[in-house]
Structure formats: structure tokens, C-alpha cells
A and B are shown apart, each in its own frame.
Chain A
Amino acid sequence: MGDPRQAGPIDQGESVRGAYFDAATATPLHPAAREALLGALDDGWADPGKLYTQARRARQLLDAARATFAQVLGVRPDEVTFTGSGTTAVHAAVLGGLAGRRRAGAALVRSAIEHSAVLHAGEQHLRSGGTETAVPVDPLGRVDGDAWARAVSAPGVALASLISASHEVGTVQPVATAAAACRDSGVPLYVDAAQSLGRMPVPGGWSLLTGSARKWGGPPGVGVLVVRKGTRWVSPYPADDRESGRWPGAPDLPAILAAAASLHAVHETAAVDGERLSALVDRVRAAVAATVPDVEIVGDPVDRLPHIVTFSCLYVDGEALLTALDRRGFAVSSGSACTSSTLQPSHVLAAMGVLTHGNIRLSLHRDSTAEQVDRFLAELPGIVAALRAEVGM
């Protein structure tokens, strides 16, 4: 097997004509994360569970990272668990939350627009005999508060799951209202905060919360699971003495330290960065609507994440649009069926009832510039027109 490094460095497209606009999938490594990671490769390799000098040093570093997360999230350090990825944190929250409430019932309530990781955990729950209710959203992608309250007040609900803000269309969810309904019914609330952490505050009232470091500029392979004190949660995995029995196996300490350093850094600058990116999103929303005919810009225009903008172009093949943009150096994501391995359209767009083909999501980050956005906006109308001309539209 060859040296994987021979594949060469990834061109992030920052110096060439295009730009990387897929931060909602993975954000380029924050300088604070890079610095912490490089330092920890020398300093944080030992096992924090052992009883010698190197291990004590590793334990100190792990404790410091946990304290940083606790401070940013407004929770106690012993409520913070590090996992092997954002996805596995979601699985642990959903399946562990259901297992801990087995005596209360076997029903999972979730919004119709949860991340696929929640849907996959729900499928496993169904296979093991549980039930699931998907609560609908309005055309802007906001969960229906009345339907939510009805669903969580039904008998036998073990857990309710709500994304803090849509990862596909950016719409912020009514977490505080949903949490109040859960409290009234005595149902614990799990919040998937992957797109919000480090960018905007998440209201309280939840019992379980997860995040993913690569979404805020930390390294891939670090997830965080927060289990509030008093929450009934049972690990869905064989437990060992790591992470208070909540997550098995030796933690990736260098990556966790990098995740903590970058979370602290982005939390400090979140208001300023958010304002700048939100203005760029406003510019995209206005310009695309004005320059591309037959386009549907989706999601709430105001009550939304600062960095995500999504739109669908009538008569355009999503994969062809993604490929044409990639050829010009623009990295974007799509919810269109032709871009998914299952050939199913995005369940989020389908739940909203918006056009699923010709769909593009731009998600910006701290290195995204107005010049990059303007270049995208200058190129897009011609690309869409050319793709439509190919099919005689």
C-alpha cells in the first residue's frame, strides 16, 4: 500500500478562482485547532487512564478540554462526553436516551427534518420493536409547535429529538417552545446542535445535546455528547472505564484538544463572524432571486443560521449543477436525488414541500470572502442557463 500523502494536499480553492462553500459538511481547520493539534501530537499521546507521569499529563489535558466544552456549552464538565464522531454522538444520544426510558415507553418523537444520523438510529429503534413519530414542518422548514406538543404528550413517549437549526436549509427551530412542551409531558428532549455550536446560542431545557467538531473548524473524528445530570441514559455500547462509561475506547486526545481550542476560539468571535456571514447570505438570497429565473430560495430568510443558504433551480439536474460549479472551483452541496447514493430526494426538502431538483446549498465559514461570493453570483446565472439550454428549456 502506498503512502496516502502522495495524493497531495487538498486544494481548498481559496487561492484559485473558486471557493469552498461546504462548511456545513466540514469547515477548514481553524488556526487554533491546528496549533493545539500539532502541540498535542508531542504532548498528548499517552493514555489518560494510566497511573504514571505521562498519563497524568494526558489526563490534565483531557480535563482542560472538557472544562472548555463545559464553559462554552454552559454545563458541568462531568456532563460532557467525547465520542468518535458527530454521527456516533447522535446515535448514542438517541439510542441511549431511548434505552434509559424503556420503562416509560418505546416511542421516539422527532421532527421530519432531523439529520440522517437521527433517522438511522430511529430505523434501528424500529427494527428492535420501537415506534417513531415524525412531526411535520411548515414550508419554511420550521417544526409545527402544536403537532410537536401533541406528539410528545401521547402515551409511551420515551424521547423527543429536535435539530437546533436545519443543516440543509438553515431554519432555526423553536427549541425553547419544544423543550417546554417536553417538560409538561415529562419527556426528555435531545437537541442535535451540530450546526449551531460555536455559531449561535442554543436555548436550554434539553436533557441531551450533541455536536461535531469538524462543523466549527475542529478536526474530523470528534463528537461531543452532553447528558444533563438526572437524565436517564444508558449506553447503547459495551461500557468500559472511559468517559465515565459513556463512550468506550481510548479517546483521540490530540483531536479533542484541537476541538476544544477551536470551539473556544469560534465562540469568542461568533457574534462578529455570524454578522459578516449572515450579510453574505442575504446578498446571495437577493442576488440569486434577481438574476436566476425560476428559482426557489428555501428556508427562513431571517430566523436562520448565519452561514447557510439553499436554493433550487427549476429544470436543472442537481448533479450536473454541482459538477459544473466544481469545474469552476466552487465546492457546494446538494439535496437533489441524483446526488444521493439512494437516488432519493432530500427528506428535508420533501418535508417542506419545496422543489428538490436543481438544489444547491452554500455554507460559508470564517475564510469565505465577499469577493468569492460575488464571483459565484457572477458565474451562476450563466451556468444555470447553459444547463437549461441543454434540455431545451
Chain B
Amino acid sequence: MTPDVLNCLGQRCPLPVIALAKHLPTVPVGTIIRVLADDPAAAVDIPAWCRMRAQQYIGATTVDGSPAYDVRRLT
């Protein structure tokens, strides 16, 4: 399944997490959202957000040389 991509490149914290929080309710439960974010705080804050909001953090990857984070909507 192709992940749903949310481009937050160039955004400073906490903007990528805010964008993720706003985007999540617009996708069906079970969807994987791939967040592209080059802010260094995203590497910590996206997994922390998943833990606090009871969503699944799948892991980090790299897309075209930029960091990306995969999150699955659980609720």
C-alpha cells in the first residue's frame, strides 16, 4: 500500500507535529501517513506524539535524502 505523504520539509518544530495532528482525522483508520520532515526535533517528537495520542509509530526512513517518519492511524 502506498503511504499517504505529508510534506513538512522546511518546517520548524512544532509545525510538522501540528500538521500530522490535523491530517490524521482526514484519513481512514489503518492508513499509513509518511511525514517528510527535516527539522531535527521531528525525530523525537513524532514518535512521542504517537505515544501520547495512541497512534502507531512505524519507524524512520529516508526519501530523496530527507528524513521521513511513518505513522499508522489506529483510532
Residues of chain A touching chain B, judged by Cβ–Cβ distance below 8 Å, are: 294, 296, 312, 314-317, 336-338, 343-345, 349-350, 353-358, 391-393
B48 at interface (Cβ–Cβ under 8 A)?
Answer: yes
A84 to B45, CA, bound (A): 37
| Closest CB in chain B relative to A240 CB, distance in Å | 43
User: Contact partner of B22 among A314, A338, A343, A392, CB < 8 A?
Assistant: A392
Chain A residues whose C-beta falls within 8 Å of the C-beta of B41 in the assembled complex: 336-337, 345, 356-357
Chain B min CB distance to A294 (Å): 7
Q: Which residues of A contact B44 (CB under 8 A)?
A: 345, 349-350, 353-356
The B interface is mostly helix, strand or loop, or mixed, namely helix
- Interface residues in chain B, defined as those with a beta carbon under 8 Å from any beta carbon in chain A: 12-15, 17-18, 21-22, 39-41, 43-45, 47-49, 52
Q: 10 closest A-B pairs (Cβ-Cβ)?
A: A357-B14, A355-B48, A345-B41, A357-B13, A337-B41, A350-B44, A356-B41, A356-B44, A315-B18, A337-B13
B18–A343 touching, CB < 8 Å: no
Complex A-B: 23 CB contacts under 8 Å: A296-B52, A314-B14, A314-B49, A315-B17, A315-B18, A343-B12, A343-B40, A344-B40, A345-B13, A345-B45, A349-B44, A353-B47, A355-B44, A355-B45, A356-B41, A356-B45, A356-B48, A357-B13, A357-B41, A358-B14, A391-B18, A392-B18, A393-B22
Q: How many A-B residue pairs have CB under 8 A?
A: 65
| Contact across chains for B52 and A337 when beta carbons are under 8 A apart | no
> Distance (Å) between the CB of B36 and the closest chain A CB?
18
Query: A314: which of B15, B17, B47 is its contact (CB, 8 Å)?
Result: B17
Taking the closest CB of chain A, its distance from the CB of B24, in whole angstroms, is 12
Docked-complex contact A337 and B22, CB < 8 angstroms:
no
Determine the chain A residues whose CB is within 8 A of the CB of B15 once the complex forms.
Answer: 391
Given A315-B18, A345-B45, 7 additional A-B pairs, CB 8 A: A296-B52, A316-B14, A317-B14, A338-B12, A350-B43, A353-B47, A357-B45
Inter-chain CA distance A336–B49, complex, in Å, is 15
Residues of A close to B13: CB separation below 8 A? 317, 336-338, 345, 356-357
